Structure 1
Amino acid sequence: MTEDQGRRKAVVVGAGPGGLAAAMLLAGQGYEVQVYEKQPFIGGRSSRVELGDYRFDRGATFLMMPELLEELFEQVGRSVHDYVQMKELDPLYSLHFGDKVFSPSSKDHERTAEMIEELFPGNGEGYRRFLRDEKVKFERVMPLLRRPFGKLGDYMRRDVFRALPKLHANDTVYGRLSKYFTDERLRWAFTFQAKYLGMSAWECPGTFTILSYIEHRYGLLHPVGGINRVFEAMADVVREYGGQIHTGSPVRQVLTRNGRAEGLELANGEKVYADHVVINADFTSAVTSLFKPGTLRKYTPEAMQKKKYSCSTTMLYLGVDGSIDLPHHSIHFPADYRLNVDEITKYKRLSDDPSIYIHNPSVIDPTLAPPGKSALYVLMPTPNLDADIDWEREGEAVKEKLLSRLEQLPALHDLRSRIEQSMFYSPLDWERDLNVHKGATFNLAHNLGQMMYLRPHNQFEEMKGVWLVGGGTHPGSGLPTIFESARISVQLLQEEDQRLTNRRIPVPQTAGAGRP
């Protein structure tokens, strides 16, 4: 064991949200922590994009369940609010169905019910039933997302039996929402969140109706400076507790001996030994490239090819002259949303009439663009790289088509003439630049065969001393669940140390104090 004055050492592969959350928890609870990140920046899929004087979140833009972030920072004696200024959004977002616009209130449920009744007559009471039913489901499902499923016996606990009648795992998200709403557009308004998992609402297990409920219960927030500011705050806490974050430091492989990880070999040949290895890299990329061939028996390249993966996303980051008359979040649905989703997930082709999401944070956050200008982020869900799409050849045409789609919106009718900076990002770029397997932005799919015990375990069963965090392990993708993966894995790691040493890991005297 590598101990320095009673401190045990953990190395973290990848400075994405899960890796940084795990590093913060470990550093704040007495571990010597070293984080190695291949890119010259932190955040992974949720890193920052800088184009001239414009700044953008690369991936995640929805921040929900702030209580979870508060808990994580409190575990290491910090307050997230000392590091990040949060602004609550009201409305949550605007949903556009042709000329009809639905903008649900942030947490004012009665106002939203009245709005639904006005826009979609006869559906206000369905919304109230949705809130009542989903509250019960949420309270029963959440305990399953906050603990590991590393063995079959984990299904035999009381919380599973209590949640089982409410899981709706044999139904779909769309099927469940159809029980509350009669208007097809309103069903879409509460099912589009399945795309946070990279899945079709017509195939995604009905359990995940809790995603839209979480938005309505907790509201949505915007961190000033962007979502990436949260990860910068985590990195700050890691350093405050003596941890180090090495950017531009790719890992060549995990060092192993006798079925246990010993540390890392970096791309420059340096070897770093540690008691624990925490892997936050894309799961498929990690198991197929970070271990010597033949080391892993379950997660071979052949086995990973058989896994199901989420859809991908095509991105446009635009620095625009002038302000834009669009809310912070807006989603623009096609005439036939079901066809659009089927084209992405089933037929693996680009849609002639796609759905698009527009992030316009400059409407409330002046830090992301120069005065009087706007940092505009546009996302179009697309098939992953399993599709027969040559992005190097077709990328420019897709970009121009997306710009034309945007210019159909009154607020963006002259968009091309106002663009000062731009970057187009395709599924191929997700894979090539960030090692996202198949460009599957939302990682492994969340079908029943890849959930809970059937998802890669937090305590990696193929190699002792290896712990998984991020969207590729339990409980899954999306920032709240990624943070939970870090908390679960760190707890398991500490429990193993306590069993092996029969003593508690010492906590620095600064733990529990305010920010230095």
Structure 2
Amino acid sequence: MKKIAIIGAGPGGLASAMILAAKGYDVHVYEKQSYVGGRNGHFTLGDYTFDIGPTFLSMPQIMEEIFEMSGRNVHDYMDLKELSPMYELQFDGKRVPMYREREKMLEVIAEHFPGNEAGYEDFMKDTREKMQALMPLLQTKHNKLTDYMSKRALKALPKLSLGKSVYDVLSDYFTDERLKIAFTFQAKYLGMSPWECPGAFSILSYMEHEWGVFHPIGGVNQLSKAMAEVTEEHGGQIHLKEGVQKINVSGKEITGLVLDSGETVHADEYIINADFAEAMTRLVDDGVLRRHSKEKLQKKKFSCSTFMIYVGLDKVYDMPHHTILFAEDYQKNVNEMTKDLVLSDEPSIYIHNASVTDPTLAPEGHSAVYILAPVPNNYSEIDWDDKQETFKSLIYDEIEKKTGFTDIRSHVVEEKVLTPKQWETDHFVHQGATFSLGHQLSQMMYFRPHNRFQELDHCWLVGGGTHPGSGLPTILESARITTGWIREEEVQPI
């Protein structure tokens, strides 16, 4: 029985562990934290429960397929609630609910953005075809340049919107700037600007409008909890509070993992689910890597970061499950975050008000509210010790002034703030770039770190830093690609 050692119990590592344990491998997951899930984990403040990171769950069919591969039904482990509306967008005081249901969405467009109804219909039709062409590329390994000459790649090529940003693509369908933003802000899921994010990613908004947005009771963290449970049911072992301090390498061969305890563990195959750039920088000795040395990684493009406020409130606001408040000049806000690397005077803000759907997160009559503002990553050199309180106050000001959370500060019982600095120091996210490496075409597919890592033998990657990229559905796909590759009959040296 082959032994598999997995660094990190994030969703990519747990999906890999679950699949491989179900196939009879001897699986060991080593996790530095005291909980599973990584950024997909949870924490409590008093009587309030919060997701640490992801709060949107879309494309549930991928999750269902991953569990089926492991001999399980995900619905036996998670209680999924579809949200309708999926979320509400706020532009200059205008509240715009967004629906998966076609008729409801057409009514919203007719009311708020008249004349754009046909554009919505065309977008869904065209992007359905784009999705059918692109999905095989996102579900297949890309380890050779000749992969771009495959039949599936050549078929997808006309659908890639090469040379266009997602904003350019949506401008072909909509005339109203706010509606364009409503279908392009999803570039934020990749930590990118809609004006820079490759046009192929117009599939992100399509995915929501085609398959919906879901909330698992207990939070999106329940996904990682369920995968950990299935892993252990199949005999896999998850070692919490046993982080990896170093990857021992001889030539190109991994010879073992040194744990924080000082113990060295050995395996036949090693899967890295830790943040890719952080792992290569912190766990591998200088001089071992060429293509992904510290110096080369410094030249890569990384996503933005996020400023988080988690609050337990003694009140439940009659507001949607998800609210996104856009800066009046959204493009300026995005450029400040991704290009100028400065804090915006008027940030865009996301508010997760899950207690209106899920009573398990807070005591009766109370709510657990999660607030996120996209901000520059730590290449900005922003002094968060100095800026944290001022920026937090600005976010509260914007929320109280522009949303239905009019007096939120007066209802705070518990509060925790998480800055980009803490994403890096406490959660081991390279430069606090919460969406990992950027998703420019120059860093996608073959040009992204390969699922079978090019520089070390018997070393594999899963998570947002490898193909196909960041976001829960794609991270699960990375696990499917990697575990499928491991299970191929013969693994030849690179």
Q: Return the offset for 1:169.
A: 2.5
Q: 2:442 aligns with which of 449, 452, 456?
A: 449
CA distance in 2, matches of 1:91, 1:109: 12
Partner of 2:95: 101
Residue 499 (structure 1) aligned with residue 490 (structure 2): yes
Aligned partner of residue 421 in structure 1, secondary structure: strand
Unmatched 5+ stretches in structure 2? none
Partner of 2:126: 133
Aligned partner of residue 486 in structure 1, secondary structure: helix
Query: What are the equivalent positions in structure 2 for 1:350-499 lying under 5 Å apart?
Result: 350-495=343-488, 498-499=489-490
Contact 1:46 1:227 in 2 (8 A): yes
Shift in CA distance, 410/487, structure 1 to aligned 2, threshold 3 Å = closer
CA distance in 2, matches of 1:413, 1:500: 59
Q: Return the offset for 1:111.
A: 2.3
Partner of 1:227: 220
Unmatched 5+ stretches in structure 1? 1-6, 502-516
Aligned partner of residue 58 in structure 2, secondary structure: coil
Give me the identity figure in percent.
52
Query: What are the equivalent positions in structure 2 for 1:115-514 lying under 5 Å apart?
Result: 115-495=108-488, 498-499=489-490
Aligned partner of residue 256 in structure 1, secondary structure: strand
Aligned partner of residue 292 in structure 1, secondary structure: coil
CA distance in 1, matches of 2:61, 2:213: 12
- Residue by residue over 1:239-258, the C-alpha shift from the partner in whole angstroms, topping out at 9 and shown as x without a partner, is 11111111111111123334
Contact 1:262 1:276 in 2 (8 A): no
Residue 50 (structure 1) aligned with residue 41 (structure 2): no
TM-score of the pair, normalised by structure 1: 0.94
Contact 1:11 1:263 in 2 (8 A): no
CA distance in 1, matches of 2:308, 2:327: 18
Residue 9 (structure 1) aligned with residue 7 (structure 2): no
Aligned partner of residue 408 in structure 1, secondary structure: helix
- Residue by residue over 1:10-40, the C-alpha shift from the partner in whole angstroms, topping out at 9 and shown as x without a partner, is 0000001101111111111110011001111
Residue 39 (structure 1) aligned with residue 33 (structure 2): yes
CA distance in 2, matches of 1:419, 1:398: 17
Q: Return the offset for 1:219.
A: 0.2
Partner of 1:4: none
Q: Return the offset for 1:500.
A: 5.7
Aligned partner of residue 319 in structure 2, secondary structure: coil
Q: Return the offset for 1:325.
A: 1.5
Figure out how many residues of one structure are paired with residues of the other and give that number: 492
Contact 1:48 1:228 in 2 (8 A): yes
CA distance in 2, matches of 1:99, 1:411: 10
- Residue by residue over 1:373-428, the C-alpha shift from the partner in whole angstroms, topping out at 9 and shown as x without a partner, is 00000000001111141001111111111111121145222211100000011100
Letter paired with 1:299: H
Contact 1:262 1:275 in 2 (8 A): no
Shift in CA distance, 259/442, structure 1 to aligned 2, threshold 3 Å = same
Letter paired with 2:94: K
Q: Return the offset for 1:104.
A: 1.8
Aligned partner of residue 487 in structure 2, secondary structure: helix
CA distance in 2, matches of 1:379, 1:458: 30
RMSD of aligned Cα (Å): 1.1
Aligned partner of residue 380 in structure 2, secondary structure: coil
Shift in CA distance, 410/493, structure 1 to aligned 2, threshold 3 Å = closer
Residue 28 (structure 1) aligned with residue 28 (structure 2): no
- Residue by residue over 1:165-208, the C-alpha shift from the partner in whole angstroms, topping out at 9 and shown as x without a partner, is 01002100000000100000101100100000000000110000
Contact 2:93 2:402 in 1 (8 A): no
Letter paired with 1:499: E
- Residue by residue over 1:462-513, the C-alpha shift from the partner in whole angstroms, topping out at 9 and shown as x without a partner, is 0010000000000000000000000101111111xx2269xxxxxxxxxxxx
Q: Name whichever of 327-336 and 251-260 sits farther off.
A: 251-260
CA distance in 2, matches of 1:263, 1:463: 12
